[in-house]
Amino acid sequence: MALLSIEDCWKGFNERVLLRGVDLRIAEGERVGLLGLNGSGKSTLLGILAGVEPLDRGTRTVRRDLRLGYLEQAPALDPERTAREAVRAGLGGRERVLADLARVHVELESAADDRTAALLARHGRLEAELERFGGHDVEHRIEHVLHSLGLDDFDARCGTLSGGERRRVALARLLLGAPELLLLDEPTNHLDALVTDWLEDWFLETRTPLLLVTHDRYFLDRVVDRIVELDRGELHEYAGGYGDYLEARAARMDVERKTEGARQNLLRRETEWMRRGPPARTTKAKARIHRYENLVDAAPVALSADLEFEIPPGPRLGARVVRLVGASKRFGERVVLPKLDLEIAPGTRLCIVGPNGAGKTTLVRLLLGELELDSGTREVGETVRFASIDQMRTDLDPTNTVVEEIAGRNDVVKLGDRTVRIERFLDRFGFPVANQSSSIAQLSGGERNRVLLAKLVLAGGNVLVLDEPTNDLDLATLRALEEALLVFPGAVIAVSHDRWFLDRIATKILYLDGHGGARLHDGDFSGLMETLAREAGEKREVASEKSTPTPPTPSNATRVKRIAPWEQRELDEVEAKIAALEAEAAALDARLSAPELYQGPKSALDQVTARRTALQSELPALYARWETLESLRSPPK
């Protein structure tokens, strides 16, 4: 059964058509990934599905009473509410259930015997529904989800939070609101890699149907079972995850190229025939002329092409690039960087990871010499020439056009030792001629990032410093950037949360844990995570053998996995409640098997039967919560 669908959907802005009669259907249990180039209309399509963006033409059909959750790129939150209050306010269904439960309690006090069984059955259903919203005590779930999403100040007012923090609050509100269908626009933006891993597990456990826009390729591979790609106004569907999508898309593009090649060959022959001056009056000639006109009119929008660009090597790089010895930095009482020794050699691709606020950008600025060390030394090779992209994308003039931002008033740009026309150069970065006169202010976040990448290529550096280079980039640009970095002969220093990007390009990972600790790992991000998980498991085993609690650890990797004190208290309470309800169920079963129950008043039988039925709803919810809490103190597999 379809939860939500659109048919023959058309949408455009000014002269640009984003959607050309597209159809999309999301059924019960489906989890769909929506992909497409920056500016192709993904967010617009998501807004149409959510009912906040009007259609130019077409129909939108939604199942009656569907609880729909929508995460937009800039969610609106009451600035005066705290993060905790904003999440709680999103649990509107919970307030309704509590009100219904209160009414049932009042009715039970004065209900006649013939109504008691029905009221008890309704009471059981409402209790089971309340469990979906976190039970009677929802505060611990609010704190757990906010903490797991990387926000620990539950009482911070929303008006004081950054854009990324507000998105985390909005996401927590959606997750706890128990919608029947989720529409998510870039849910992993501004989440560090460890938090994204937790979010994956949440979706895998809850199995909530969803449609999401994301450029996180591991997320797509693990979470979705179908991908739809928005390409030149049309939707193309692919079964499976990201790997399946890549194979199927390559086959589709090959067919498109062959089809267009055949059309061009036929058009070439017909054009030659037309130039010879065909007889104008014969029926056969008129039909051929009509076919020629149809061939001309059938010219498609330019075929999609995978982006491809190269980063010139810059000046020759000597044996020494950047070296830190005993380097440290603190702000007030907070240690951002401990005493760190770090050597970056030619060919090194160092990726810096860690939770938000751990000091990654501070370290980048220290490496660039933009901040002074509190102690230690920084040495930079004589031949080093830095080229950088900052996280805030401040190096763009919003009043410039794309051409002006890249080339000023010039018609050509210098690419290494070659001269390239600006139109051709920008086309490599996904800016066709028609879009090259757009102002920077009109561009999407991903398009602005592509402009910065184009400027980086022209900078001619031999050490690239990239602070969150993958933010807002579409998959085509991500792949092109990775390929360019893999063959770049200089050194690369990058801050990123993109796990696929980290695994593809990193030769070393520097992990900042957010508590003043740093760890250097030779290899990729997945290798680091395996090491941290193994060490966390070993610590738990040692602690278990000694029958003492596992000591707190500053590691963000174990922060997501370990059980918090309030979770341990809840686990104890859940275990006690399960035991009590199981005992009650056994007692009820004994009464139901006793003949005297059926010889007495019917109301007594109905009451026992209703309570036993209610327990069948309550116990599974408790078992599920127990498994979740128990898994937090179990070593990761």
- Pairing verdict, β 234-239 and 226-231: antiparallel
Number of other residues whose CB lies within 10 A of the CB of residue 623: 12
246-271 mean pLDDT: 81
Closest by CA position to 40, among listed 215, 209, 190: 215
The per-residue pLDDT for 304 is: 47
Identify which has the larger pLDDT, 612 or 397.
397
The per-residue pLDDT for 278 is: 61
The per-residue pLDDT for 544 is: 66
Three-state SS at 21: strand
Q: Is the pLDDT of residue 495 over 50?
A: yes
167-175 mean pLDDT: 91
The least confident of 175-184, 259-268, 407-416, 438-447 is 259-268
Number of other residues whose CB lies within 10 A of the CB of residue 598: 10
CA dist list (Å): 452 to 188, 368, 424, 472: 22, 18, 17, 12
Helices (H), 112-241: 113-132, 139-148, 163-176, 193-206, 217-223
134-150 mean pLDDT: 82
Q: Is the pLDDT of residue 281 over 70?
A: no
Identify which has the larger pLDDT, 630 or 451.
451
The per-residue pLDDT for 124 is: 81
- Pairing verdict, β 68-71 and 57-62: unpaired
321-333 pLDDT per residue, tens: 999 999 999 888 8
Decide if 418 contacts 406 (C-beta within 8 A): no
The per-residue pLDDT for 552 is: 47
Tokens matching residue 620 = 């599974």
Three-state SS at 340: strand
Is CATH 3.30.70.2340 what the domain over 1-67+179-273 is classified as, yes or no? no
Q: Please give the CATH architecture assigned to the domain spanning 561-632.
A: Orthogonal Bundle (1.10)
Report the distance separating Cα 342 and Cα 329, nearest Å. Answer: 14
Q: Do domains 1-67+179-273 and 561-632 have the same CATH topology?
A: no
CA dist list (Å): 469 to 135, 209, 500, 523: 42, 31, 13, 20
Q: Is the pLDDT of residue 558 over 60?
A: no
pLDDT grade for 520, boundaries at 50, 70 and 90: very high
Report the distance separating Cα 314 and Cα 305, nearest Å. Answer: 27
The per-residue pLDDT for 401 is: 92
Q: Is the pLDDT of residue 385 over 90?
A: yes
Tokens matching residue 597 = 């129950």
338: exposed, middle or buried (Cβ count in 10 Å: 0-12, 13-18, 19+): middle
pLDDT grade for 503, boundaries at 50, 70 and 90: very high
183-208 mean pLDDT: 88
pLDDT grade for 560, boundaries at 50, 70 and 90: very low
> At 581, which amino acid appears?
L
Non-local CB neighbours of 190 within 8 Å, separated by 6+ positions: 163, 164, 165, 167, 168, 356
Tokens matching residue 307 = 């982006």
Tokens matching residue 476 = 């085509």
Q: What is the dihedral of CA 80, 86, 90, 95, to 10 degrees?
A: -90
363-368 mean pLDDT: 92
The per-residue pLDDT for 261 is: 76
CA dist list (Å): 123 to 305, 547, 574, 584, 606: 59, 42, 20, 17, 14
Maximum CA extent, the chain: 106
Sign of the alpha-carbon dihedral angle for 611, 616, 621, 626: positive
The per-residue pLDDT for 76 is: 87
Decide if 193 contacts 360 (C-beta within 8 A): no
Q: Is the pLDDT of residue 254 over 50?
A: yes
> At 204, which amino acid appears?
L
- The residue ranges of every structural domain in the chain are 1-67+179-273, 322-523, 531-560, 561-632
480-489 mean pLDDT: 91
Q: Is the pLDDT of residue 303 over 60?
A: no
The per-residue pLDDT for 264 is: 78
In CATH, which of 3.10.20.30, 3.40.50.300, 3.40.800.20, 3.30.1050.10 is domain 322-523?
3.40.50.300
Q: Is the pLDDT of residue 509 over 90?
A: yes
331-354 mean pLDDT: 90
Tokens matching residue 47 = 């807004």
The least confident of 7-11, 28-32, 71-75 is 71-75
The per-residue pLDDT for 599 is: 63
**What are φ and ψ of residue 9, in 5° steps?**
-85, 125
List of E strands, 306-437:
322-331, 334-344, 349-353, 375-380, 386-389, 412-415, 418-421
Q: What angle do CA 529, 561, 337 make, to 5 degrees?
A: 60
The per-residue pLDDT for 6 is: 95
Helix axes 565-592, 602-632, angle to 10 degrees: 150
Report the distance separating Cα 363 and Cα 322, nearest Å. Answer: 12
Report the distance separating Cα 85 and Cα 551, nearest Å. Answer: 31
**What are φ and ψ of residue 378, in 5° steps?**
-125, 125
Decide if 180 contacts 4 (C-beta within 8 A): no
Q: Is the pLDDT of residue 554 over 50?
A: no
240-246 mean pLDDT: 89
15-44 mean pLDDT: 91
The least confident of 69-78, 204-213, 243-252, 566-575 is 566-575
601-613 mean pLDDT: 73
The per-residue pLDDT for 416 is: 79
The per-residue pLDDT for 172 is: 92
Three-state SS at 36: strand
Non-local CB neighbours of 59 within 8 Å, separated by 6+ positions: 6, 7, 8, 9
The per-residue pLDDT for 460 is: 86
Average pLDDT, the chain: 83
508: exposed, middle or buried (Cβ count in 10 Å: 0-12, 13-18, 19+): buried
Q: What angle do CA 339, 344, 350 make, to 5 degrees?
A: 90
431-475 pLDDT per residue, tens: 888 888 889 988 877 888 889 888 888 888 999 999 888 877 888
109-131 mean pLDDT: 79
The per-residue pLDDT for 156 is: 92
The least confident of 270-279, 334-343, 571-580 is 270-279
**What are φ and ψ of residue 623, in 5° steps?**
-60, -45
To the nearest whole percent, how much of the chain has pLDDT over 70? 88
Number of other residues whose CB lies within 10 A of the CB of residue 42: 21
